[in-house]
Amino acid sequence: MFSPEEVLKIHKDNGAEIHAPINIFTNNIKIVKGIILDWDGVFTNGIKGENDHSGFSEIDAMGLNLLRFSLWNRVKIMPQIFIVTGMHNPSAVAFARRESLTAVYQGVKQKDKAIQHIKENFNTVPKELICVFDDVLDMAMAKDCALRFLVNRKSNPLFIKYVKNKKWCDYITSSNSGENPVREICEFLIGIGGNYEKTLDDRINFASNYTQYWEERKAIIPNNYEL
C-alpha cells in the first residue's frame, strides 16, 4: 500500500506542485462529501469552434469513477459530483448522465451562486468539497473549498502566481489542460486516502462492494440547472 508520504513524493517527482501540508490532504479527504469541477480547461484543453461542444476523455472518466468508489468505500455513502460550467455544454450533460453525476450547472458566470445552490439544495458546504479548477471565473467557487486543485497551463504564469500568492490552491497539476489532469488529481486523492491498491483490486475483480457501489451509482439521475 502506498503511504501518503510516498504518494506526495511520486506526484512531486512527476512535476506537481504541492502547496499544503500533508495533513491538510489526509485530514480533509476524510470529511469531504463531494467534488466540484469546472469543465472547459479541466476535462478539455478549452478549444472550441462556433458549433463545437468540447468532449471528455475516458481516462479522466475512469479516474473519477475510481475516486468516487474510493470515497464511497469509507462510509458507504455516494459522494456528490458537480460540474459547474460557464457555457451551455451538451457534452457535460451527456457525461453527467453516463457517469450518474449529481448535477450539472450550466451558463454560470458567477460560480459562487452554484456553491450557494449546492449548500441550500444538497446540504453540502464548501469545506466539504474538493474543487478542480483552471481559470479566473472559477475562483469564487474554489477559494473556500476543503481541497483546491489548480489545473496547470503554461500560458498563464501570472494567473498561477496570483493564485499561489492568495493561497487559493493546495495542489497544481503536472498535467496541463487537455492532458488528463482530472486523472492525475484522482490518482493523488485515492493514494492520499490510503486505499489505492484496494480500490483497484476491487474494481478489477468486480468485488461485491464494487457491485453494491455500481448499483447505487446507476440509480442516480443527474439534475441539470441553469443559474
Give which of 74, 148, 87, 82 is closest to 115, Cα–Cα: 82
How high does pLDDT run on average in the chain?
Answer: 95
Residue 16 placed within a domain:
yes
- Cα distances (Å, whole numbers) of residue 137 to 69, 82, 85, 141: 29, 16, 9, 8
- Cα distances (Å, whole numbers) of residue 1 to 69, 93, 201: 17, 36, 12
Mean pLDDT over 21-28 rounds to: 97
Residue 147 placed within a domain:
no
Residue 159: predicted pLDDT: 98
Q: What is the dihedral of CA 141, 86, 226, 218, to 10 degrees?
A: -80
**pTM across the whole model:** 0.96
Residues 163 and 146: beta-carbon distance below 8 Å? no
Mean pLDDT over 131-150 rounds to: 97
Span 57-71, pLDDT tens digits: 999 999 999 999 999
Please state the domain count of the chain. Answer: 1
Q: What percent of the chain has pLDDT over 90?
A: 91
Residue 48: predicted pLDDT: 66
Residue 55: predicted pLDDT: 77
- CATH classification at residue 189: 3.40.50
Separation of alpha carbons 68 and 52, rounded Å:
29
Strands 171-176 and 223-226: unpaired
Residue 11 placed within a domain:
yes
Residue 141 placed within a domain:
no
**DSSP secondary structure letters along 28-42:** HTTT--EEEE-STTT
Residue 152 placed within a domain:
no
Mean pLDDT over 146-152 rounds to: 98
Span 89-137, pLDDT tens digits: 899 999 999 999 999 999 999 999 999 999 999 999 999 999 999 999 9
Residue 174 placed within a domain:
no
Window from 39-53, 131-145, 211-225 with minimum mean pLDDT = 39-53
Residues 17 and 181: beta-carbon distance below 8 Å? no
**Full residue range of the structural domain in which residue 36 is found:** 4-45+52-115+122-136+157-167+182-226
Residue 124: predicted pLDDT: 97
Residue 176 placed within a domain:
no
Backbone dihedral angles phi then psi of residue 89, each to the nearest 5 degrees:
-130, 100
Strands 34-37 and 129-133: parallel
Residue 150 placed within a domain:
no
